[in-house]
Structure 1
């Protein structure tokens, strides 16, 4: 399977951070339109993208204890979810700002069932799923590594949510799902634990 390069992320938005915070809300409805590859690129960059290099370490967009970076971001796209992507499952590659195809057919129904048939997942044109290799952080911080990983996934989710707000996309973080079923749907190795779903999409016309 060939890696897919994403458009270069644009670090300068039209909405201030303060404005995005003030207007942020968990929005559970989506327009029946596909999302753009530019939106997907920007959100994955906000989640786990490289922002700078410090002491030889590629630093990412969200804080990570000791720069251990235990999180892995997957992208699920249903049929007609994005005009530039086939339906299926992808893994984000922060180093190359690209996505690696994992499954080249739709898993949307399976993902929705794993998320307890929540409409916010079933109706979304795309979903970012965050999973963690907790041991990466626990090796360095045996006493508090688990706590740090949970903090980090919250940082990442807020990044994604604020960028959604700045781009006038709807997003609703979801933490209710069957752990084992979701891990199976995402073809996760045993070292990775799914922690958060971030379904997103265009805003419906409310006029």
Structure 2
């Protein structure tokens, strides 16, 4: 009897620990496999560079899972599986970043917070409900409120041997997102002026992670 009680206590402790890691309203569930990204497009790199703009106002229409998939791949997708290399360069290939998707109005995805998993190109559910609303309230930036989705690019301060490398890597990933949005006829704007401590707390980032970029996503 004592062994059964000990086993149940251990299981409860494990569930509590998992919830602490994954945030409010979170429950560990199976990953969501994203559609395969496209590797060829109709817009050249030169044209994407010319047409890249910051967009702060978005149409009231949903994004598709395929569009989200393409954007996440551009940010941190794996391009050489054997070596684990990604779309954005990283000093010594350490890859300090984690990209989170805050889905509000994405066809085929429940509203909530998701962690992008480059290995397997999938989403790991983190928190259910109006996670984007919590992000908006903490950041206080209007474009987040009206956008159907938003990205948070977070960096691991705990793993970064040189913190400046982490910020450089985040800039590479953010520019990839900007350029990828051009052929998708989507827009974003890099959010600045938010309180990172407040955002980290509101979205329950794991200990050691820091919000570096917030990028709302929407249709122009």
TM-score (normalised: structure 1): 0.89
Matched, 1:75 2:101: yes
Deviation at residue 5 of structure 1 after TM alignment: 0.4
SS in 2 for 1:166: coil
Deviation at residue 110 of structure 1 after TM alignment: 1.4
Give the aligned CA root-mean-square deviation in angstroms. 1.1
Question: What residue in structure 1 maps to residue 16 of structure 2?
Answer: none
Measure, in 2, the Cα distance between the counterparts of 1:38 and 1:98: 12
Contact in 1 for aligned 2:134/2:203 (Cα 8 Å): no
List gaps (5 residues or longer) in structure 2: 1-28
Larger radius of gyration between Structure 1 and Structure 2: 2
Q: How many residues align?
A: 192
Measure, in 1, the Cα distance between the counterparts of 2:95 and 2:192: 20
List gaps (5 residues or longer) in structure 1: 139-144
SS in 1 for 2:107: coil
Deviation at residue 149 of structure 1 after TM alignment: 1.1
Matched, 1:59 2:76: no
Matched, 1:163 2:180: yes
Of the three residues 45, 69, 73, the one matched with 1:41 is: 69
SS in 2 for 1:30: coil
Query: Following superposition, which runs of at least 4 residues in structure 1 exceed 4 angstroms of deviation?
Result: none
Question: What residue in structure 1 maps to residue 135 of structure 2?
Answer: 111
TM-score (normalised: structure 2): 0.84
Deviations 1:118-144 (A, max 9, x none): 211111100010000134231xxxxxx
Measure, in 2, the Cα distance between the counterparts of 1:43 and 1:97: 11
SS in 2 for 1:57: coil
